[in-house]
Structure 1
Amino acid sequence: MNAIAWNCRGVGSARTVRVLKEMIKSHKPDLLFLSETLEDSNKVASLAPKISFVNFYSVDKQGRGGGLAIFRSNKLNYSVFYASNNHIDVQIHESSDKKGKHGHLYNVLEGFRSVAEDSSLIEVELTGGEYTWEKSKGTSSWVRERLDRCFANDSWWSKFPLCTLTVFYVAVSDHDPIKLDMLNTFISKKNFRFRFENTWLKEPNFYSEISNYWQHLPAMHLLPKLVEISKYMAQWGREVFHKFRDKIMRQKKIIDDLKDREDDDGVQMYFEEKDKFHELLIHEETYWQQRVKKFWLKEGDTNSKFFHKATSSRKKLNHIGNLKTEMGWWCQITKD
């Protein structure tokens, strides 16, 4: 389990919410504690889904100050014993994928978790039971554990978004088999279609780059010229905007290098780089808003996991994996 505590001095601004979301995305805390929220419970309730937490407990502000909030991930449970204007007393009941004697060494678990996170692997949820292995059933040494797992990267999830993993019992081994079902969710690639991204307009050199390319195109009719400029804009957009995480991490490194400087130039650069950091968060937010076609949301609203999941959900909804005939037979749709 990892936890983050922060005296945030208010959670009412879009700027603070963006920083919170970036912090959670980078550090993936199981528990988040905020002090000086300067808000009541209803405001904290509206904040929770924006930062990808559903479970929370809060203490209202007093006058113009105070306010506490604690958020937890789904894999943690806690009991609140007592709370005041100055503290929240909780007991954490951490979930476990092992039941019985002899727990795992912490450094081994942390090493495995780090490798999975560094490789951008996401575990496929197991159904049919909590454990895949057991030993000494019915004795005082009875141990049950989830040893067998399945992980997948983004490429896999894009092709098989509806995959499931199921464990089922067999009588001849202490390990139960696990079944991966991809549910015939092959998603075919379509021809690329040009889409203008609103977030391009936030890049200072966008107009000069596109104008310069347009002026240097050879003499041709308007339509092929528009095709050429659209291809250039698409390529330019991929290179400039698609790797938000890398840009955000580099910008955070620049800020970290400047935060301890006390000279006038260093302080000035620190504030300038912080502004660039917030601009990056706004660009990322705008990009996902347009990608998911939620135009009813104003710029500056949440960039929670809702946008990313909604984008993937559109791909699922737009795909037909099987068709049912009038005779009641199911026909699978495959590649030509």
Structure 2
Amino acid sequence: MSILSWNCHGLGTPWTFQFLKEIVLQKRLDFIFLSEILCKQVTVEKFQQAVNFEGKMVVETQGHSGGIALLWRFQNEVTLRTFNKNHIDVFVKNKAGDEFRLTGVYGEPDRQKRKETWDMIRMLSSINTGPWCLIGDMNNVLSQADKQGGRPYPQWLIQGFRDVIEDCSLINLDLDGYPFTWERGAGTVDWIEVRLDRDLVSTSFLNIFPNVKLINIEVSTSDHCPILLEIHKASIVIQKRVFRFENAWLREPMCQKIVEDVWSSGASVSFYAKIKECSEILSSWGREITGSFKNRINQCKKTIKLLKGRRDSNSIAVLKC
């Protein structure tokens, strides 16, 4: 099961629409919570049809800002509970028999009204004590480490948010990947990065789903990065790697030499043993020649993080992966 949360800053733009469609396909999403959709319900319905999701709940934009939407893949697995301009609360019961409560939260952007969001979470907490997952743009941080650049975050906001989490007995999930989810002024002396998007869960939720992982997708068409909650009820089984011959190896003279050496050695060795030995040697050699694309991508991401961390306003690094 997977849940995506994203402050998309406008669902109606073609690039945002396409970006979300690709994520749904790649990550096989079951739930999508969107904030700052900046559109009417008809736009959300077009997206719902494009990704073939059966259920939705939309709180339309008020004026020129806001708007939230929750979409889910299977209509009969979700029961709507409560909603307003800052949250959508549903009860989920899937085919596997898992039952939990899911709440998409869009924290009040106005700091002077932030207490309204905290009171809302407390109110929602008092309704039910079962397994609970809150995900979204909370518009708040839990420590100064959640912010980089600019002035220190007001301590009264940090403490107020911490008190809510403690009062409601919630657990803040660690974020895999880049530690910040929102930025402004990238590459300038005024560059600010903050972790505003997060997932809060109850202890009972973790008892049912001990293998949860919150991931910063990092790539985005908005000033916010999408966050992805992957939920696994059972331990993930790692399958044994299967040997696959790469056509790119045929351009390397060493490939033919490896095959010839294996085949000409050990005349008493069986046919299948030679195939096994040949595949093992080719696999080891091939990793050095063509490399692992996944490892290359991960290395590129690490390099990007390092470049972001330097925050050098005097030069712009151009990264070629």
- Higher Rg: 1
TM-score (norm. length: structure 2): 0.35
Relative CO higher for 1 or 2, CA cutoff 8 Å, sep ≥ 6? 2
Structure 1 or 2: more strand by fraction: 2
